Chains A and B, each alone.
Chain A
Amino acid sequence: DAGVTQSPTHLIKTRGQQVTLRCSPKSGHDTVSWYQQALGQGPQFIFQYYEEEERQRGNFPDRFSGHQFPNYSSELNVNALLLGDSALYLCASSREKRADTQYFGPGTRLTVL
């Protein structure tokens, strides 16, 4: 049973560029949440997708957007990258009907130069 997978593993971008990160949820999971983890800090909630809709958003600007596909996989897009966007981006999946806790993927390490 595959867990949560994310791609790419690492990414280097320059300021002002745009980036797309991808996530495939754990088998049987239908809800995807994205978190940003800055170095030395705990993950911070960006937003959650369920039934292909953004259901909840944390305190992140509109430069952060996402999408969920019919197969429950998800993308996180960040526009106009800033140096401060450098972080580990984590995807977590869960099952809506069982209200399980969230299982995390290995993350994508984004470096903005």
Chain B
Amino acid sequence: QQQVKQSPQSLIVQKGGISIINCAYENTAFDYFPWYQQFPGKGPALLIAIRPDVSEKKEGRFTISFNKSAKQFSLHIMDSQPGDSATYFCAARNSGSARQLTFGSGTQLTVLP
């Protein structure tokens, strides 16, 4: 299975709150798990990424938590700001030669001022 399942589809949080987006995968051939942020009319921009031998990675207000045994990973956005309002995609990279990305279906985040 090449699917990556992402939830929730949409998320509304207050400014200063914590935004949490969850993803699950089935294919054990995935070896790298990036998160992308996409604004309307733009291409996805790499936000943060993690490898499966690490359980957590933090960069500024963004943290990835990774549970290899459960095949789940999540993005936490601390102190959410209105400027964080965008669509977030989790992805998983195949370990084969092409290392293509399989994306989740996306989460539309709205941070209210």
Report if B62 contacts A (CB, 8 A).
no
Centre residue among B97, B101, B105, B106 by max chain A CB count within 10 A: B101
Report if B73 contacts A (CB, 8 A).
no
Report yes or no: B100 in contact with A101, Cβ–Cβ below 8 A: no
Name B43's closest neighbour in chain A (CB-CB).
A104
Could you list which residues of chain B lie within 8 angstroms of chain A, going by C-beta atoms? Answer: 6, 32, 34, 36, 41-46, 49, 89, 91, 93, 96-106
Centre residue among A58, A90, A102, A109 by max chain B CB count within 10 A: A102
**Binary CB contact string for chain A from 89 to 105 against chain B (1 if under 8 A, 0 otherwise):** 01010100001011111
Write 24 A-B pairs (CB below 8 A) sorted by A numbering: A4-B43, A33-B100, A35-B101, A42-B6, A42-B89, A43-B101, A44-B103, A45-B102, A55-B97, A56-B96, A56-B97, A56-B98, A56-B100, A58-B100, A90-B43, A92-B101, A94-B99, A101-B32, A101-B49, A102-B101, A104-B44, A104-B46, A107-B42, A107-B43
Chain B residues within an 8 Å CB radius of A33: 98, 100-101
Report yes or no: B101 in contact with A45, Cβ–Cβ below 8 A: yes
The one of A40, A50, A90, A107 that contacts B106, using a Cβ cutoff of 8 Å: A40
Q: How far is the CB of B5 from chain A (nearest CB, A)?
A: 11
- Size of the chain A interface, CB-CB below 8 angstroms: 26
A46–B91 CA distance with the chains assembled, in angstroms: 15
Tell me the residues in window 1-60 of chain A with beta carbons closer than 8 Å to chain B beta carbons: 4, 33, 35, 40-45, 48, 50, 55-56, 58
Chain B residues within an 8 Å CB radius of A56: 96-98, 100
Name A92's closest neighbour in chain B (CB-CB).
B101
Centre residue among A4, A99, A101 by max chain B CB count within 10 A: A101
Report yes or no: B106 in contact with A42, Cβ–Cβ below 8 A: yes
Centre residue among B41, B91, B99, B105 by max chain A CB count within 10 A: B99
A58–B99 CA distance with the chains assembled, in angstroms: 12
Chain B residues within an 8 Å CB radius of A109: 41
A103–B97 CA distance with the chains assembled, in angstroms: 17
